Structure 1
Amino acid sequence: MEQLKFPCFIFFLFMTESLSLPREPQNVDDFSITQKFIDENTGSLTIIAFAQYVQEATFDEMEILVQDVIQYRDKCLAHKTLPECAEIAINLLQGKICAIEGLPQKYNFSHCCSKVDFERRLCFFFNKKADVGFLPPFPTLDPEEKCQAYKNNRESFLNHYMHEVARRNPFVFGPTLLTVAARFEEVAKTCCEEQQKANCFKAKAAPVTQYLKALSSYQKTVCGALLKFGPKVLNSINIAVFSQKFPKIEFKELTSLLEDVSSMYDGCCEGDVLQCIRYQSKVMSHICSKQESISSKIKECCEKKIPEREACIINSSKDDRPQDLSLREAKFTDSGNVCQERDTDPDNFFAEFLYEHSRRHTDLSIPELLRIARVYEDLLADCCSKENPPDCYNHAEDKFNETTEKSLRMVQQECEQLQNSGKDGLKYHYLIKLTKIAPQLSTEELISLGKEMVTALTTCCTLSEEFACVDNLADLVLGELCGINENRTINPAVDHCCKANFAFRRLCFKDLKADETYVPVTSQDFFMSCVDWCQAQNEDLQRKKDRFLVNLVKLKPGLTYEELQSLFTNFSNMAEKCCKVPEPEVCFLEEGPKIGN
């Protein structure tokens, strides 16, 4: 899996230049290049936006809107002064969705259509469903059929693919989906020329899927942080990310860059696509125009076109730490004027501390850097009220080390568990743990979260940068669990960890016990649900077993880990035995109750 550094977010825009003016001046060449890209991708961007807003809608229903939008674009390109061409793009799009006869009623978003402007945009955003269990399985074609469909009509083939991917990933940013579609087309081009098409698709499509999952997780986590905790936490995340990635950037330059980044997220995470795409372009132009003072690793990226430029910069390596940069900045722990400097401009003071600490410690995770920043802020709140503050905050480094050692122990324990239990044993551990603490989540969502946690550990636990890798990826799993919507409620304990403190939620979740408010749903014939194991093989059998284990925990949440694992093993052994007899159903009926009671 590609290691992802920081996100860039294009969402959707399709209007003429008169409709797309940024809120602040932008380089004319950059503006024209971005506009050209938008005009050339009108159809694809409309598909993505519609599929993410109205996930249940069919491809045929979506095509009606795409044609309408393209006709509108062409009309406004020819007659820019028409009154209807002055409407804000996202308002226009949502208005057209609401105007499709019977669609709002059919898919239950009429309440959004009764609102206007910002309130309607926010309503559409929060109407998106992260758990897509209500959708039919992702359509799969025989490789020969897939290749024939691609050769017969490339555009239709890719549009269908984009629709299916976008509706299942409603919070993924538009350029990410365009990149995924482009990479999938490359897979199709290559594999359709191979003899072993099925093996080729399986091998080459997997990295594309992993790329999508990784970026989706990051984007949801960051937007969730903004919507739940506000711009201060978002700004802290971006300071840590950019300072680690570009350690030679000056603080003043970083502050200027972050103004554009923050404005970009303000719009992107709330669905204001005009602001989103313009500031996204502005951020990348800013970075590329200051390469000498920002990074030596992005020259080739900046020569690429949209959206390859953005994807390249996201995945570029961290720049080398300046050789003359010491491991600590003395002004924050040794100076006698720390409290006075803090009081003069607290936000700028703590932002600079996070910047200095992050660029010096590229080995730490983003959550750990935020924890240290919070520890420092709390320490000064205490020390600056004392008679001799320097005597108090001179020991700040010890506090930072204590915080890191606690986080490091957590990661070491997780990696030891992988080593002791193996991949399957670790997966079962997390399926039980996650189901116990959040049994209200759907079975499929819990399975997905469990697999992501296992992927984080199996990916990271053998790397030299084990700590940062595990802590970063595990925190993204919790971001998935907590979700984007600030009103998302699972149960009191989980809600507290999701909303109390962004930096420390990993530690909060570590200490969570089984949800005591959960009332299990009884099922007399629960053991019969594993009868269909007899017809399953390999991955399909494993999915059925995972599903069974999660539902077993939901049925018997009061059992210990050991009791649940023992019960699951007994069920598995019973299933293996019953599947070998002529009448397995009879065997399950006789043997199941003996194990389940």
Structure 2
Amino acid sequence: MKQLKLTGFIYFLFFLTESLMLPTELQDLDNFNITQKFIEENVEYITIITFAQYVQEATFEEMEKLVKDMVEYKDSCMANSMLPKCSKLPNDVLQEAICAMEGLPQKHNFSHCCSKADAERRICFFYNKKANVGFLPPFPTLDPEEKCQAFKNNKESFLNHFVYEVARRNPFVFAPTLLTVAAHFEDVATSCCEEQNKVNCFQTRAVPVMQYLKAFSSYQNNVCGTLLKFGTKIINSINIAILSQKFPKIEFEELISLIEDVSSNYDECCEGDVVHCIRHMSKIMNHICSKQDAFSSKIKECCEKKIPERDQCIINSNKDDRPKDLSLREAKFTDSENVCQERDADPDTFFAEFNFEYSRRHPDLSIPQLLRVVQMYKDLLRNCCNTENPPDCYRYAEDKFNEATEKSLKKIQQECKHSQNLGKDGLKYHYLIRFTKIAPQLSTEELVSLGKKMVTVFTTCCTLSEEFACVENLVDLVLGELCGVNENRTINPAVDHCCKSNFAFRGPCFESLTTHKTYVPPPFSQDLFTFHPDMCQSQNEELQKKTDRFLVNIVKLKYEVANEELQSLLTNFGNAVEKCCKAEKDEEKLVCFNVESPKIVT
């Protein structure tokens, strides 16, 4: 992976030798040449990611065969780009090659996709991806010494295995993100394998890499889930709010032009079409940097960086300062006599501009709150424009927005205070119980993951100055994970309603949910609550995992029990483990657990 030394997203990825309109600008030509060279040297990684995400059950050996075929394809097209096969879309080439592998479609149950063609086949492969990867074996781990020996013996094979294992466990993450993770991991392995204390080095340097993956995985899954469930219109509204906060001095017409590029980009990225995903992102970044004075004063240094570094720099840049001449409110939406006429002339543009004007004036608000304000304004005008004197009706709209925002702000402040009072473990148990009661149909692993992520939200955000926006934005990502990417995902009627009815009010909808009334608990299994002396050998982290799973399983069985009683039960469990583990012999520990376990379950 000689050229994959990146610190950000690799957005400029045209994959293989797809026919492209030749660039005319010198800068575009440079970008094209750099990207083409990168592709030629890294076609293996791109193939591995695509295959592993589409066919997660496939073995490493099956994947290696496809890589060999795609390298041969690349070499033949580089030798003669006029061959008929070289004019095909790269994603189609890959899918055709996957379908052509003898026995593979039948073995891994995707032959129904191979019977389709073009767009239908691409969508079928996308829907065939599985977000819940519990069917895969645990992520393979090696002792640092073994890891470094494998790295030194065959660096290419070692990194191929890493990319394969990460990609099939993250089927909806955009390929550029996975390539960046691979680049970071290569840097970590190269550095740590030279260190004397390899364990400490890997623990210290690998954590940020996995946090990077988790963060972008959560965001990209949420974007794709929102696109599938709510469509382009809501994606546009979200992007208007985000970009208006980030670039408050941008002109509305310029923003709309950018939004068209951003929204069209998500179709390809979510579908898994790497080439078009990257091409559109390239266009977006070029657009921003070609007019940086119109966008932000915070991206000048970013635009001077090389292409891959530039992208992440812009994404991570701070929000630009609000223009000094920007009033605290835009009078045209509340004081004008012609609001209803302007709305009726072009509703989409009218509300998009309101979203833009309100968002750039409120950089401290969360995206869900901004979208709620837009919805409130739509509802208000629907009523006001049917009255005898509409201006008198909508003149006080700003007061209603402020009142709603203040209410949301106080709620977040209360939640932060509550989370601090509970402590980290108490907060986790609170959300494990809550998520299990409203969505007991989810697997134990999913519920434990959601609970841990809610803890991360509050421990991360509740000490920040932008507490409100941070909490709501990150909670929305957790709820997006609960709802899933696929529009056909079904959990139970109440949860499904919250996931699909109104994106802006998804958070309040979930807050209103209580215990799922029609849930039928699974048959009691003593195995779930039989404890063994090996509990006493568990390290803190492993013991915590067992405790979390125990709590979720108890709630699934006794979901009607009050939260306080469940918390008490968990305390009893902890006391039992502590008591039994004090016994000297394993036989004595086992006897103790056999006595204490039934008491807890009862």
Select 2:556's aligned residue among 533, 554, 558.
554
Note if contact 1:179-1:308 (Cα within 8 Å) is conserved in structure 2. Answer: no
Specify every segment of 5 or more residues in structure 1 that has no aligned partner in the other structure, as ranges: 1-6
Letter in 2 for 1:136: P
1:65-464 equivalences under 5 Å are 65-464=66-465
**Residues in 1 aligned to 2:94 and 2:519: alpha-carbon distance in whole angstroms:** 42
Alpha-carbon distance, 1:527 to partner = 2.5
**Residues in 1 aligned to 2:258 and 2:37: alpha-carbon distance in whole angstroms:** 24
The 1:410/1:204 distance shift into structure 2, 3 A limit, reads same
Letter in 1 for 2:596: E
Alpha-carbon distance, 1:265 to partner = 1.2
**Residues in 2 aligned to 1:401 and 1:239: alpha-carbon distance in whole angstroms:** 20
Note if contact 2:18-2:87 (Cα within 8 Å) is conserved in structure 1. Answer: no
Letter in 2 for 1:190: S
Partner of 1:520 in structure 2?
A: 521
The 1:340/1:230 distance shift into structure 2, 3 A limit, reads same
Identity rate, percent:
70
User: How many residues are treated as equivalent by the alignment?
Assistant: 590
Partner of 1:54 in structure 2?
A: 55
Letter in 2 for 1:546: D
Higher mean C-alpha deviation, range 217-226 or range 405-414: 405-414
Alpha-carbon distance, 1:524 to partner = 4.3
Note if contact 2:236-2:263 (Cα within 8 Å) is conserved in structure 1. Answer: yes
TM-score (ref. length: structure 2): 0.94
- Partner SS, residue 41 of structure 1: helix
The 1:16/1:239 distance shift into structure 2, 3 A limit, reads same
Higher mean C-alpha deviation, range 249-258 or range 425-434: 249-258
Partner of 2:569 in structure 1?
A: 567
Alpha-carbon deviations, 1:455-480, whole Å to 9, x = none? 01100001111000011001100011
**Residues in 2 aligned to 1:23 and 1:358: alpha-carbon distance in whole angstroms:** 36
Letter in 2 for 1:176: T
The 1:495/1:532 distance shift into structure 2, 3 A limit, reads farther
**Residues in 2 aligned to 1:254 and 1:328: alpha-carbon distance in whole angstroms:** 19
Note if contact 1:12-1:46 (Cα within 8 Å) is conserved in structure 2. Answer: no
Alpha-carbon deviations, 1:548-571, whole Å to 9, x = none? 111111111111101111111112
- Partner SS, residue 269 of structure 1: helix
**Residues in 1 aligned to 2:9 and 2:397: alpha-carbon distance in whole angstroms:** 34
Alpha-carbon deviations, 1:90-113, whole Å to 9, x = none? 111111111111211221111211
- Partner SS, residue 548 of structure 2: helix
**Residues in 1 aligned to 2:114 and 2:18: alpha-carbon distance in whole angstroms:** 27
Select 1:591's aligned residue among 558, 576, 596.
596
Letter in 1 for 2:97: K
Note if contact 2:268-2:276 (Cα within 8 Å) is conserved in structure 1. Answer: yes
Note if contact 2:227-2:234 (Cα within 8 Å) is conserved in structure 1. Answer: yes
Letter in 2 for 1:545: T
Partner of 2:512 in structure 1?
A: 511
Alpha-carbon distance, 1:12 to partner = 7.1
Alpha-carbon distance, 1:585 to partner = 2.2
Alpha-carbon deviations, 1:125-158, whole Å to 9, x = none? 1111111111111111111222222223322222
Note if contact 1:8-1:280 (Cα within 8 Å) is conserved in structure 2. Answer: no
Note if contact 2:252-2:353 (Cα within 8 Å) is conserved in structure 1. Answer: yes
Note if contact 2:12-2:282 (Cα within 8 Å) is conserved in structure 1. Answer: no
Specify every segment of 5 or more residues in structure 2 that has no aligned partner in the other structure, as ranges: 1-7
Note if contact 2:14-2:35 (Cα within 8 Å) is conserved in structure 1. Answer: no
Partner of 2:492 in structure 1?
A: 491
Alpha-carbon distance, 1:306 to partner = 4.2
**Residues in 1 aligned to 2:296 and 2:188: alpha-carbon distance in whole angstroms:** 32
Partner of 1:541 in structure 2?
A: 543
- Partner SS, residue 307 of structure 1: helix
Partner of 1:4 in structure 2?
A: none
Partner of 1:3 in structure 2?
A: none
Letter in 2 for 1:363: D
Higher mean C-alpha deviation, range 300-309 or range 9-18: 9-18
The 1:393/1:9 distance shift into structure 2, 3 A limit, reads farther
**Residues in 2 aligned to 1:22 and 1:343: alpha-carbon distance in whole angstroms:** 43
**Residues in 2 aligned to 1:571 and 1:75: alpha-carbon distance in whole angstroms:** 64
Alpha-carbon distance, 1:118 to partner = 1.1
Alpha-carbon deviations, 1:337-364, whole Å to 9, x = none? 1111111111111111111111111111
The 1:348/1:220 distance shift into structure 2, 3 A limit, reads same
Note if contact 2:9-2:308 (Cα within 8 Å) is conserved in structure 1. Answer: no
Note if contact 2:11-2:278 (Cα within 8 Å) is conserved in structure 1. Answer: yes
Letter in 2 for 1:461: C
The 1:54/1:307 distance shift into structure 2, 3 A limit, reads farther
Higher mean C-alpha deviation, range 35-44 or range 448-457: 35-44
**Residues in 1 aligned to 2:600 and 2:449: alpha-carbon distance in whole angstroms:** 27
**Residues in 1 aligned to 2:23 and 2:228: alpha-carbon distance in whole angstroms:** 22
**Residues in 2 aligned to 1:172 and 1:481: alpha-carbon distance in whole angstroms:** 16
Letter in 1 for 2:553: N
Note if contact 1:52-1:128 (Cα within 8 Å) is conserved in structure 2. Answer: yes
**Residues in 2 aligned to 1:76 and 1:530: alpha-carbon distance in whole angstroms:** 60
- Partner SS, residue 489 of structure 2: coil
Alpha-carbon deviations, 1:62-113, whole Å to 9, x = none? 1111111111011112211211112221111111111111211221111211
Partner of 2:5 in structure 1?
A: none
Letter in 2 for 1:528: T
**Residues in 1 aligned to 2:261 and 2:512: alpha-carbon distance in whole angstroms:** 38
